[in-house]
Structure 1
Amino acid sequence: MPVSLESPEAPLLKPNIFGFFRYLLRVSPYNCSRSNPIRFLFVIFSLLSFLALIFRAYWMFFQISSTILSLGWAERNLYAFISMESFSCVIALYRMTTVGSLEKFEQSLANLKRMRVTGYHESHDEYGKLRLKIFLLKTPIPVFFIATAIYLVVKQKIIVDTTTHNNWYYFFDAGVMALCAYVNFLFLPIHALIQNAIAREFHVFNEELEGASKNKELLNPAIFQTFADRQIKMFEYTNALTTRLMPFMSSAPFLILTALANVTFIFTNLGSLIDTYYYICMIGLMICCIIISSNLMYPPALVQEAMLHTSTVLMDDQYVHHSKDPQIYTTYRSMVDRSINNRTVNLVVQIFSVNRKNIERAYFVITNIVLLMTVFYNILDRLPVVN
C-alpha cells in the first residue's frame, strides 16, 4: 500500500535524506543517470571537467616558475591540489549518478529502518535542519573560490607571484576555479548526508540495544538474536559503502589537507606580500579547505564511532555476562567481535584510518608542517642573495 508523505511512517518507509540537494544534482550537468535523455552530453561535460582540472594541476606544477617556499610556490600548490581534490569529486559524482546511488541508498536505509524496535525518531529521521546547516557551511566555498578567480582575472594573472605570463590561461583558470567550487558544493553535502544517515541509524540501534539491555531483554535468546541479525545487515551495507568510497577517501582528504598547509603558510607568513583583498581571499580559501577536509573526514569517522559503540553497550551490560546460556554468550561474543574487528575503514593515502583521533592528528601534523615551512622560509630569507 502506498505511504502518504504526511504519514508518521513516511520518514521510515520513504526517507527523504537529500532534500533539495537531490534536485541540485539532478539539474546539474553532472547528472549522468542512465535515465537522463541527454546523458551523452553530460558524460562529455564530466569528461571535459575532469580533463580541465587535470590540465590546471599540470599547468600549476610544470608551467609556473617560482622559488621554493615563495608566495608563488605556495599559490601554485594551493590551486593545484584544490584542482586534484575536485577531480576526485567529479569521478565520485559520475559514479554516483550513473548507478543511481542516491535512490539505492534511500531504499537500503528504509530497509534498515523497518528493522527498528521503536519506530520513528524525530531527532534521527528528520533531515531538514541538517540540510540547512550543511548548506550554510558550504556557502563559503563558491563565495571565496569565485572571488579569488575574479581577482586574478581582473589582475590578468595566473597567480600573484610569478614571472610566468600568458595571454589566455588566466581566463581558463578562473573558469576552472569556479568549476572546483561547483563540484565541491554539489558533492560534499551528499557525502555528508549519506554518512550522517548511517551514523544516525547506528545511534538508533545502539539506543534500542541499550534499552533492551537495561530491561534484561537480552537474556531472551530470540530477542538477542534479532539484534544480532540486524547488526549483520547494518554492517553488510555500511562496509560495502565504505569499500566503494576507498579510492576517493584514499586521495581526496590528503589533497585538500596539502592545499590547507599551503594556504595556511600564505596566511601566516606571506600576508605582507599581497594586497588586502587577496589576503582576505586567502583567509577565505583557508576556511574553505578546513570545511572541505572536515566534511570529507568527520562524517565517516562518526559512522565508525557509532559502529564501535555497540561493543561498549554490550560490555556494559550488567546481566548478559552472568548468563549460563551458551547461545546468549555466542551471540554476545559475535556482536562484540563484529563491532570491534569487522569494521571496514577508509584509509587516507593507505596510511591512517579515518577516525576522530586520526583526523585531529592530521590537523596537528598540518600545523607542524606549516611551522617547519615557516622556519625554513625564515632561514632562506636571511641567506645572502648571490648575483
Structure 2
Amino acid sequence: MSSNLPVSFDDKAQSDLLGPFRFLIKLTLLDCSTKSKCCGLLTTLIAIGIIVALLARVGLLMETDGKPLSFAWAECNFFGFPAIFPALSAVSILSWTKSLFFPNFVKKLIRLRNLRLEPNQKLDSYGRIHVVALIFSIPWLIAMMSWILYNYVENATIYFGATEESKVIYRVALIISNFYIWFISTVCLAFFVLVFTSINREVSHFNQELEKSKNEKTLKSIGILEKFDFRQNEILELILFANQSLSSFGSVTPLFLFYGLINGVYLTSFFDDLPTLYKVILGLNLAAIIIYNFIILSTACALQEHLATSTRILINHYEFECSKDSTVYQTYRLMVDRFQKVDTRMYVVSAIPITRSTFAAASFIVPNMGFLLVIIKKVLIENGGHV
C-alpha cells in the first residue's frame, strides 16, 4: 500500500514527524544516510572516529586515583557513567541513519494511518513536541556546561583534581566535547521520543475506535472486526520494527544513567565540604540525569499501558464469548492471543522489561542504593575508617 504513495507525501510525513530535528541530525556529523558509496564510506569513517573520541572521553572522566567511596571516586563515576549516554547516542544515530530506519518507519506509519476508521489530522501534528524538546534541551545544556566551565576556572578536569593543574588541552577538549554531546544527545533523545509518541498515538486512537465500535455494538460485524484485526497486526509489526532499531539506545542508556544517579545521590553526603555554587551544579546534573532517564523509560512504559488497554477492551467484551458465528469468535480469539503472546516490550540489557512496574521498582531501589553507600560511608568513618 505504502509503495504506491508519492515520495513527496512520504517526505512531508517525515518532515511533520521529525520537524527541525530532521535537519539538525545532519549537523551531528553522524548522518550516514547518503546514497553515494564514496560519501557513505567517508561519513561512516567520520562517525566511527567521533564515537571512538567519545569513548576516550569516558575513560578520561573516569580516570581517578581516589579510593572507593571517596569524593574523587564518586565524582568520576557520577560524570563518567552518564558520559556513556552520548556515546550510545552517537552509535544509535549512526545505526539509524545508515539503515534508513526513519524513512522506512514513516512509510509503515503512513500505512497504519490509512487504516484509521475516521481521519484525525491532530494526531499527525508534532509541533508542540518539537518545541518542548528544544526548550527542555536548554537546562540540559546549562547542566552540562556548568560543571566543566567551573572546573576549567579551577584548573581541573573535575573538582577533585583542583589541587593539581590539569593540562589545558584536556580541559578545552572537554568544553568543546560537552557542547557537542549536548547537541547529539538532544537530537537522539528527540528522535526516540518522537517515534514512540507516534506509535503511542496510533495505539491510543485504535483503542478509542475499538471502544466506540464496542459501545455501538458494531464490533461483532465480521467486516468491522477484520479491519481491526488487520490494523492490530500492522500496529504490532510497527512496534517490533521500531524496537529492533531503538533498542540500541533505549535498552542500554537507562542502565548507565542509573549508575550516575546512584553516585549522584552518594555525592550529596559530601555537600558540607563543597562550595555552594558547585553544590548547585551537581544538583543540576543530578536533576538532568533523572529527567532524561524518566523521559526514556516513561515513553516506553506508556506504550505497554496502551497495549494493555487494548487487551482489556477485547477481553471485557463478553458478547464475543457467546457469539454463534465461528469466524467472528476465531478472529476475536486471534486478536486477544496476538496481544498476549507477541512480546512488544523493550528490555534493559536484554533482561529487565521496561514496564510500569519495573520502572516503579527501579525508581525506588536505585536511589536507595545511593543512600546505602552514604550509610556505609558513615559507618566506616564512625569506626575510624577513611574514605
TM-score, normalised with respect to structure 1 = 0.90
Aligned pairs for 1:99-178 within 5 A:
99-122=99-122, 124-162=123-161, 166-167=166-167, 168-178=169-179
Partner of 1:204 in structure 2?
Answer: 205
Q: Aligned runs of 1:77-92 on 2, under 5 Å?
A: 77-92=77-92
2:60 aligned with 1:65: no
Which residue of the partner structure matches residue 242 of structure 2?
Answer: 241
Report the counterpart of residue 334 of structure 2 in structure 1.
Answer: 334
User: In 2, distance between residues paired with 1:300 and 1:46?
Assistant: 27
Deviation, structure 1 residue 25: 1.1
Q: CA deviation at 1:48?
A: 2.5
Matched with 2:230 is 229
The Cα shift of 1:259 comes to 0.8
Say if 2:15 and 2:22, in contact at 8 Å, map to a contact too: no
- 1:16 corresponds to: 16
2:350 and 2:288 mapped to 1: Cα distance? 24
Structure 1 residue 28 displacement after superposition: 3.1
2:258 is equivalent to residue 257 of structure 1: yes
**1:220 corresponding residue in structure 2:** 221
Instruction: Give the residue type in structure 2 aligned to 1:251.
Output: V
The CA deviation string for residues 348-385 of structure 1, in whole angstroms up to 9 with x for no partner, is 12331011221121111112101101101112233426
Compared with structure 1, are the counterparts of its residues 83 and 15 closer, same or farther at alpha carbon in structure 2 (3 Å cutoff)?
A: closer
Q: Is 1:361 aligned with 2:361? A: yes
Cα distance change of structure 1 residues 2 and 96 upon mapping to structure 2, 3 Å threshold: closer
SS in 2 for 1:211: helix
Rounded to whole Å, the distance in 1 between the matches of 2:34 and 2:195 is 21
Residue in structure 2 matched with residue 304 of structure 1 by the alignment:
304
Q: Alpha-carbon deviation of 1:169? A: 2.5
Q: Deviations over 1:93-120 (max 9, x none)?
A: 0011222322222222111000110112
Letter paired with 2:159:
V
**Residue in 2 that maps onto 1:46:** 47
Tell me how far 1:88 sits from its aligned partner: 0.8
> CA contact under 8 A between 1:158 and 1:170: conserved in structure 2?
yes
> Does the CA-based 8 Å contact 1:85-1:255 persist in structure 2?
yes
C-alpha distance in structure 1 between counterparts of 2:49 and 2:271, whole Å: 35
Q: Give the aligned partner of residue 370 of structure 1.
A: 370
SS in 2 for 1:157: coil
DSSP 3-state at the match of 2:321: helix
CA distance in structure 2 between the partners assigned to 1:203 and 1:250 by the alignment: 23
Tell whether the 8 Å contact from 1:206 to 1:310 is kept in structure 2 after alignment: yes
SS across alignment from 1:361 = helix
Aligned residues of 2:105 and 2:242 also touching (Cα < 8 A): no
- Matched pairs, number: 379
Q: Is there any run of 5+ residues in structure 1 with no aligned partner, and where?
A: none
Partner of 1:55: 56
Cα gap change, 1:105/1:10 in structure 2, threshold over 3 Å: closer, same or farther? closer
Contact 1:16 1:106 in 2 (8 A): no
CA-based RMSD: 2.5
After superposition, the C-alpha distances for 1:38-66 in whole angstroms (9 at most, x for unaligned) are: 555543432222112211222333x3111
Quick check: 2:28–2:184 contact (8 Å CA) kept in 1?
Answer: no
State the AA in 2 paired with 1:126: S
Shift of 1:247: 3.6
Range 169-178 or range 375-384, more displaced: 169-178
Partner of 1:75: 75
After TM superposition, the structure 1 stretch with the greater mean CA deviation from structure 2, 377-386 or 50-59, is 377-386
**What letter corresponds to residue 246 of structure 2 in structure 1?**
L
Give the TM-score taking structure 2 as reference length.
0.90
Indicate the residue corresponding to 1:382 in structure 2. 382
